[in-house]
């Protein structure tokens, strides 16, 4: 397969995923895929010398750009009206639901603070957002596990400081909601909290390292947007 054919194949796969997500009304995720797919097609266009093919690529790019713009405007209007709500159902045993896939559409350069773990924090460190504070509300362990819990969170806090991010931990004995709140207005509620992945049968199993390939427990993910969200609001996650 030629390099150009490989590039076109990659663009087609991403755009096919965008159309699937669009059809399932997972608009924020679809928008990200449309944008990524359009950029891949633009790269193909630049590398193509056949004028007839170039014209076809331009038509496809135009169609996908129009749809992406429609979605962007729709999501923005829903956000402004405080009506945005999207629900994702994760089937038992399904794969392709890593934190990167689930949260990437809502982590952008306007995100500066997260309220309400190791892999989730790693996702934030690698993203383009400007997060400087993470506020975690969690239940407190009892007995010997209490010191272990505090030691782990303390170690994570020290590690995050190397990236200019502070971790604030608040313990609650009445915690019941499991949600993540972003300072850019996105609120994500997960039925199981961040504990959505099934353990693999061993360290040498597909999915042990790549969580896109890790099977999931069944749960639902509800996504809302609140333009009036204040950064002082506490968010919760169970650990």
Residues 118 and 149 in one domain: yes
Residues 99 and 13 in one domain: no
Residue 178 lies in a domain: yes
Mean pLDDT calculated for residue range 224-231:
65
Residue 182 lies in a domain: yes
Q: Is residue 14 pLDDT above 70, yes or no?
A: yes
Flag the least confident range among 71-85, 99-113, 148-162. Answer: 99-113
Residues 96 and 57 in one domain: no
Count how many Cα atoms sit within 13 Å of the Cα of residue 1 in the half-sphere of its side chain.
8
Dig out the tokens for 15 from the structure: 């755009």
Residues 182 and 69 in one domain: no
Residue 66 lies in a domain: yes
Q: What is the pLDDT of residue 116?
A: 46
Q: Is residue 239 pLDDT above 90, yes or no?
A: no
Q: What is the pLDDT of residue 146?
A: 86
How many domains does the structure of the chain reveal? Answer: 2
Q: What is the pLDDT of residue 231?
A: 44
Residues 77 and 132 in one domain: no
- Of 26, 54, 81, the one marking the end of a domain is 81
User: Which string of DSSP letters, residue by residue, matches 164-193?
Assistant: T-EEEEEE-SS----EEEETTSEEEEETTT
Q: How does residue 26 score in pLDDT terms, banded at 50, 70 and 90?
A: confident
Q: What is the pLDDT of residue 218?
A: 92
Element (H, E) at 231: none
- CATH code, domain with 50: 1.20.58.80
Residues 193 and 99 in one domain: yes
Residue 31 lies in a domain: yes
Helices (H) and strands (E) in the chain, counts: 6, 7
Residue 113 lies in a domain: yes
Instruction: Tell me the per-residue pLDDT of 34-82, one tens digit each, with 9 for 90 and over.
Output: 999 999 999 999 999 889 999 999 999 999 999 999 999 998 888 878 7
Q: What is the pLDDT of residue 22?
A: 93
Work out the percent of the chain whose per-residue pLDDT is above 70. 90
Residues 77 and 91 in one domain: no
Residue with the larger pLDDT of the pair 232 and 185: 185
Q: Which of 93, 136, 139 is nearest to 118 (CA)?
A: 136
Q: Report the mean per-residue pLDDT for the chain.
A: 84
| 3-state DSSP assignment of residue 155 | helix
Q: What is the pLDDT of residue 1?
A: 56
- Of 24, 53, 81, the one marking the end of a domain is 81
Residue 238 lies in a domain: no
Mean pLDDT calculated for residue range 17-34:
90
Residue 155 lies in a domain: yes
Q: How does residue 4 score in pLDDT terms, banded at 50, 70 and 90?
A: confident
Q: Is residue 214 pLDDT above 90, yes or no?
A: yes
Q: Is residue 230 pLDDT above 60, yes or no?
A: no
Return the ∠ at Cα 184 (arms to 182 and 188), rounded to 5°.
40
Q: Is residue 176 pLDDT above 70, yes or no?
A: no
Mean pLDDT calculated for residue range 165-173:
87
- Of 81, 96, 121, the one marking the end of a domain is 81
Return the percent helix, strand and coil in the chain, to nearest 5.
Answer: 45, 15, 35
Residues 11 and 91 in one domain: no
- Asked if 111 and 130 count as a contact pair (C-beta separation under 8 A), the reply is yes
- CATH code, domain with 197: 3.30.870.30
Residue span of the structural domain in which 216 resides: 86-233
Q: What is the pLDDT of residue 89?
A: 86
Residues 75 and 106 in one domain: no
Residues 216 and 132 in one domain: yes
């Amino acid at each position: 397969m030629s390099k150009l054919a490989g590039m076109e194949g990659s663009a087609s796969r991403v755009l096919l995923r965008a159309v699937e997500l669009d059809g399932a009304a997972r608009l924020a995720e679809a928008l990200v895929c449309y944008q990524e797919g359009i950029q891949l097609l633009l790269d193909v266009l630049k590398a193509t010398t056949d004028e007839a093919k170039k014209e076809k690529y331009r038509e496809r790019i135009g169609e996908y750009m129009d749809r992406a713009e429609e979605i962007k405007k729709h999501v923005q209007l829903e956000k402004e009206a405080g009506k945005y709500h999207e629900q994702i159902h994760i089937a038992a045993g399904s794969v392709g639901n890593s934190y990167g896939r689930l949260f990437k559409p809502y982590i952008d350069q306007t995100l500066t603070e997260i309220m309400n773990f190791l892999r989730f924090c790693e996702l934030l460190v690698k993203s383009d957002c400007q997060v400087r504070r993470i506020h975690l509300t969690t239940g407190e362990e009892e007995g010997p596990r209490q010191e272990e819990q505090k030691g782990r969170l303390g170690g994570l806090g020290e590690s995050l400081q190397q990236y200019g991010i502070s971790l604030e931990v608040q313990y609650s004995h009445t915690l019941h909601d499991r949600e993540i709140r972003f300072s850019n207005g996105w609120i994500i509620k997960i039925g199981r909290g961040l504990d959505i992945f099934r353990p693999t049968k061993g360290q040498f199993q597909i999915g042990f390292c790549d969580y896109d390939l890790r099977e999931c427990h069944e749960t639902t993910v509800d996504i809302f947007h609140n333009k009036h969200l204040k950064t002082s609001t506490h968010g919760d996650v169970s650990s």
